[in-house]
A and B are shown apart, each in its own frame.
Chain A
Amino acid sequence: QQPVQSPQAVILREGEDAVINCSSSKALYSVHWYRQKHGEAPVFLMILLKGGEQKGHEKISASFNEKKQQSSLYLTASQLSYSGTYFCGTEGRGGSNYKLTFGKGTLLTVNP
């Protein structure tokens, strides 16, 4: 099952903050975050593993709540370069389920 991302789209002015949420209906081992610019391949941002969080970039951070099976991506003081579609990918626990299931994405637009 695909994780659910919210919001579906958000428009910001440069310098504003945003939060993107990712929620799963199943127990998770890890959550990945990727950003995709139009016409390009997704690019890795960060991984959050069981029991912790990990910062991949200076002004982009994330949290992982295992009990709630949720993750949030925080973008602070947004820049024009942050524009793109953000995807969370979840890895379920148990068995040999070594694959990511991606959400439908959140389109982030940063305007001057």
Chain B
Amino acid sequence: NAGVTQTPKFRVLKTGQSMTLLCAQDMNHEYMYWYRQDPGMGLRLIHYSVGEGTTAKGEVPDGYNVSRLKKQNFLLGLESAAPSQTSVYFCASSRSSIRGEKLFFGSGTQLSVL
């Protein structure tokens, strides 16, 4: 039981390049989330999904797109990377609605955009 797995762990991009971060969970969780973490800012929600085929915007969605084609996977895409997107990205999942359910986090992806 791996929990929440993120790939890749590290990535360096040039401005304007695109990439996709993959999050996979093997706990059959309904809800999945993408957060970014910047120094002194805490964790900020980018997008989230309440089930297969659904997505919704979080606090800082601009510049990102997501897809949840399969229940176990939640993809985060950067179409045209900018230096402001340099951050550590965490994926998380929960069994159902966050009400009373804890989040399980992946180990993070450190992204640098030059």
Contacts and interface: CB of A to CB of B under 8 A. Distances in A.
Interface of A: 2, 29-30, 32, 34, 40-44, 47, 49, 87, 89, 91, 96, 98-105
Contact of A42 (B31, B44, B105): B105
> Secondary structure of the A side of the interface?
strand
B50 interface: yes
Contacts, number: 62
Nearest to A98: B97
Contact of A32 (B35, B103, B108): B103
Given A87-B43, A99-B45, A102-B44, A40 B98 contact: no
Interface residues of B, number: 26
Contact of A41 (B44, B98, B105): B105
A91 B98 contact: yes
A30 B103 CA distance: 13
Question: Which of B44, B90, B99 has the most chain A CB atoms inside 10 A of its CB?
Answer: B99
Given A30-B99, A42-B105, A102-B44, 11 more contacts: A32-B103, A41-B108, A42-B90, A44-B104, A47-B101, A91-B98, A91-B99, A96-B50, A98-B31, A99-B33, A103-B42
A105 B42 contact: yes
14 contacts: A2-B44, A34-B103, A42-B43, A42-B105, A44-B103, A49-B99, A96-B50, A98-B97, A98-B98, A101-B45, A101-B59, A102-B43, A104-B40, A105-B42
